[in-house]
Each structure stands twice: as C-alpha cells, then as structure tokens.
Amino acid sequence: MNGARPLQDGIERKLGAGVAGLHHLEVINESHRHNVPPGSESHFKLVLVADAFDGIRLLERHRLVNRLLADELAGGVHALAIHAWTRDEWQARTGGAPMSPPCLGGGKPKRAAAPDT
C-alpha cells in the first residue's frame, strides 16, 4: 500500500497519549537518508515540546520517550534522534512569537445578522 506509515503513525499515537502536556510533536521519518529500501521506517527524528519535561534533565526526558517506544525500539526502529524541550526552551530556540494555543473547538456563539436597512 503506497503511503502507508504504520510505524510512524504508531509512534505519533503513543507519544501523543503518553507525554503529559504535549504542546508540539513532530515525528520525521529520516530513513530515506540511509541505505535502506524505499518506504522503510527505520530512522526517525522526534521533536517534542511538553510540560512533562519541566524540571527534569535531558537524560530523563530521553528515558521517558524510550520507555514509551520500547516495542518500536526492540523491533523496526534502528535509530531515534530525540529533541525534547520545555515550552520555555522551545521558545528560546525558535524565537519570535510563542506557539499558538490548542483549538478548543470554537465555543463562541454566533452573532445575529444585522437587519437590512
């Protein structure tokens, strides 16, 4: 099946569910940059920004991610580059405007249309 990415999708689901206060997640398949067959899912780069990383060292952040992805690391994932930051670290690295807050579903009531005059 063309475009199938079961391993990448699974990584996204596990991290989305398992990292508390996740504000930003990128799961980038970098397998094409290595000597593997086309369509492989063996080399990934992760970019995570989460409240879960506040007050913990980089090594503990990596351990958290590695625990969540233990099955993938024991199976098809050969290499995993982890970039795990707090919101403050992410803002300092990216500069500019802070990230937009997550959408809450647009709960504002609609305004009544003005009568024709």
CATH number of the domain to which 74 belongs:
3.30.300.90
Q: Is residue 7 part of a domain?
A: no
Domain that holds residue 82: 27-94
Q: Which pair of tokens denotes residue 70?
A: 């233990």
Of the pLDDT bands very low, low, confident and very high (cuts 50, 70, 90), residue 107 is: low
**Residue tagged 């690295």 (tokens):** 93
* Per-residue pLDDT reduced to its tens digit, 16-49: 999 999 999 999 988 878 777 777 777 899 999 9
Q: Is residue 51 part of a domain?
A: yes
Q: Is residue 81 part of a domain?
A: yes
Predicted TM-score (pTM) of the model is 0.75
DSSP states along 59-82: HHHHHHHHHHTHHHHHTT--EEEE
What is the C-alpha to C-alpha distance for residues 20 and 3, in angstroms, rounded to an integer?
29
Q: How many domains does the chain have?
A: 1
